[in-house]
Amino acid sequence: MPYHATTGTFLGVADTVWFVLLTAAAVAGVAWSLSRRYSLMMAGRRGVVLDRWGERVRGVLVYFLGQRRMFLEPLPGVMHALIFWGFLVFSVRSLSMVVEGLTSGWELPFLHTWAGHAYLLTKDVFAVLVLVGVAIAAWRRLVSRPARLELSSDAWVILGLIAALMVTDLLSDGARIAGGSPGPWAWTPASSAVGAWLGGTSAAALHRLYVGAWWVHVAALYVFANYLPYSKHFHVYTSLPNVLLRPLDQPGRLGKMDLENIVEGTALGAAKVTDLTWKQLLDLYTCTECGRCTVVCPTTITKKPLIPRDLTIALRDHLKASSGEIIGDPGRAPGSPARELAGDVIDPEVVWACTTCRWCEEACPLFISYVDRIVEMRRHLVLEKAEFPPEAEPAFRGMEVNGNPWQLAPETRGDWAKGLDVPVATAGGEFEFLFWVGCAGSYDDAGKRTSQALVKLLHAAGVKFAILGSEERCTGDAARRLGNEYLFQTLAAANVEVLNARGVKKIVTNCPHCFNTLAHEYPDFGGNYEVKHGTQLIAELVAAGRLQLTAEVRRELTFHDPCYLGRTNREYDAPRAIMGAIPGLTLKEAPLSREKAMCCGAGGGRMWLEEKLGTRINQTRMHQLQESGAADVAVACPFCAVMVGNAQQELGMESAQTVDVITLAAQALGQTGARPAADN
């Protein structure tokens, strides 16, 4: 029985009745609030695929319970983990206190077993650790004040409630122990210390302290549970389902719109908030406003209007404000919100600023997605309203008419290969790899040099390959990410038809954007191929001894990781393996490299748009690369080559050069050990 110095009872009949009513009201309040939030969420589009449940459960263990992504920042990670794990441990103790009130003193039998003793010891330790976590959180808000933190009163309310739960638990258990009725609570060192501190207090005062602490604890618990759905800490409810139901598709892969079966009245893309999927709406609820996305976003860093956290908050606030229109209030039938997302809720400049680099998504501890929502809004603007930056129009027209964004003649697409003994693929032709050259590799001067370098390397390794020549068209990556899904699907269908007619099974390409699209988005159109980036194939050939890079290349340079090769497709090692095999070459890593490399500014179709706001992303990235101590930059993407090279010129780095890793490998290809060209 809980401690009572005089009567041996806990609550009287009247108090028990009041507590039962309070509990019922608290439960009803939580149920009502959650049902409203659930109804709003389920007003979103269906069609979310949920499978691979084993992988989903493992993700919950690693990312939800294990807090893996939180520890990317050590101090905040420790702080949050202490509070989170303590909260999980305390759920049993809080439940036992509620049971005490509902039953006028009955305790969970579990607490009187050896397992209960172990639990109470763990709970007591975490009471102290949670208070340490709360203290760290308060110190960060009052003293260190990192820029990404929003110093809102909401956070103080939550921290205060959490601290109240811990303190009242220690006080109630301390009063029990001081009153001579420790029971299993003898296993609680922190509570025992509180009990020793209370030694000498009268029995009546200890009883009042116990009951008072108990009431404050359960009241704080009920207030906390009902406050959460209306605060930024709603993620306490939604983080588990959000991690469990996270997208398991290849990162950066965009879903296919069904343009052949459009239902009349259905929006193309996301016109209203209800045009987002229910999972995307769950993302809005789950945002903790921690700001991890903002400190890594290249558009935020360079003072563009896109701030990922603010975008999510604006959409969430709009969703909540539209609840009456969506699910109906008294006297109002459910329907669709009147305001459109792009224009009414979100400034179009925000929508067009994104480079789709996905660093915001990688930084988010709870797997909130941003790129898919932004692209959905772009699709609506392009497909239904024909509203997009004017610079995109020539690129769209060039891709549609000439198969490339520069509007250059398609019949000259293979001119770069003249005199290099490069065969054009034919049906039934004997080749292992189809070399997908890409638009930049076919028309841009630097891109053409990289294409020629790859040909030299493939010949030397005896790899049988071919190209499509004038039959190759743009993959449509930029069109899709700029919202022109119709143009992308037209290009994809045409390319897949040509590739399949030639019997293509394996593809190599120097462009990470082509690589990502061919490997992960063309399967939706019947194009299933094994796709390798040029650096991956060359690194494999070097490792297998089929290529020997023996010629010395005396250069000191740093390497810029392309977003679509590194962050999106997890390839960081292949380019470095090649450079590490080149004699005389010194690679000096920049502080922000590999997973932490910032975008060059060309992704998401931004290659074809003007950068009119804030500072230039490519220049900011170049300043980061300079921190390596090297002026020359190696790249593995034609878009990055253009952006980094332009930044060097714009910053007056006249002697600095940008060079592709494939070109470096070709320069290091000595005659000794190079295999003769294949007769293909």
pLDDT at 676 over 50: no
What confidence score (pLDDT) does residue 424 get?
93
Summarize pLDDT for 426-485 with one digit per residue, the tens: 877 789 999 999 999 999 999 999 999 999 999 999 999 999 999 999 999 999 999 999
pLDDT at 605 over 80: yes
pLDDT at 239 over 50: yes
Burial of 212 (0-12, 13-18, 19+ CB in 10 A): middle
Q: What's the CA gap between 394 and 400, in Å, rounded?
A: 10
Selected residue with higher pLDDT from 8 and 254: 254
Contacts of residue 606, defined as CB under 8 A and 6 or more positions apart, other chains included, come to 354, 355
Q: Which fold is adopted by the domain 405-543?
A: Rossmann fold (3.40.50)
Q: Which of 336-340, 391-395, 639-643 has the lowest mean pLDDT?
A: 336-340
What confidence score (pLDDT) does residue 484 get?
97
Give the chain's mean pLDDT.
Answer: 90
pLDDT at 4 over 70: no
Q: Rounded mean pLDDT of 68-83?
A: 84
At 224, give phi and psi (nearest 5°): -60, -50
Q: What's the CA gap between 269 and 644, in Å, rounded?
A: 33
Strands (E), 457-567: 465-466, 506-509, 530-533, 555-559
Helix (H, G, I), strand (E, B) or coil at 635: strand
Q: Rounded mean pLDDT of 553-579?
A: 96
The DSSP code for 218 is H
pLDDT at 15 over 80: no
What confidence score (pLDDT) does residue 5 get?
38
* Cα–Cα distance list, 47 to 240, 258, 262, 268, 381 (Å): 21, 12, 15, 15, 22
Alpha-helical (H) ranges within 179-307 are 189-197, 203-227, 235-244, 278-286, 292-296, 298-301
CATH class (in words) of the domain with range 273-384: mainly alpha
Q: Rounded mean pLDDT of 536-553?
A: 95
Alpha-helical (H) ranges within 502-590 are 512-520, 534-543, 573-580
What confidence score (pLDDT) does residue 1 get?
37
pLDDT at 397 over 70: yes
pLDDT at 618 over 70: yes
Output the CA torsion sign for 151, 157, 162, 168. Answer: positive
Q: Rounded mean pLDDT of 615-630?
A: 96
Structurally, at CATH architecture level, domain 555-667 sits in 3-Layer(aba) Sandwich (3.40)
Q: What's the CA gap between 568 and 356, in Å, rounded?
A: 10
What confidence score (pLDDT) does residue 675 get?
42
Q: Rounded mean pLDDT of 660-679?
A: 70
| Residue 542: how many other CB atoms lie within 10 Å | 22
What confidence score (pLDDT) does residue 10 get?
63
Q: What's the CA gap between 218 and 76, in Å, rounded?
A: 28
What confidence score (pLDDT) does residue 54 get?
95
Strands (E), 330-467: 433-436, 465-466
What confidence score (pLDDT) does residue 6 get?
32
* Cα–Cα distance list, 282 to 155, 266, 306, 345, 452 (Å): 21, 22, 21, 18, 48
Residue whose C-alpha is closest to residue 20's, from 129, 101, 141:
101
What confidence score (pLDDT) does residue 331 get?
66
The answer to whether 341 and 272 have CB atoms below 8 angstroms apart is yes
pTM of this prediction exceeds 0.75: yes
Q: What's the CA gap between 88 and 90, in Å, rounded?
A: 5
Selected residue with higher pLDDT from 143 and 56: 56
Structure tokens given for 593: 């490299």
At 659, give phi and psi (nearest 5°): -140, 140
Q: Rounded mean pLDDT of 516-543?
A: 97
β-strand pairing of 433-436 with 506-509: parallel
Q: Which of 226-235, 490-499, 552-561 has the lowest mean pLDDT?
A: 226-235
* Cα–Cα distance list, 143 to 135, 138, 139, 366, 573 (Å): 11, 8, 5, 27, 40
What share of the chain in percent tops pLDDT 90?
67
What confidence score (pLDDT) does residue 679 get?
33
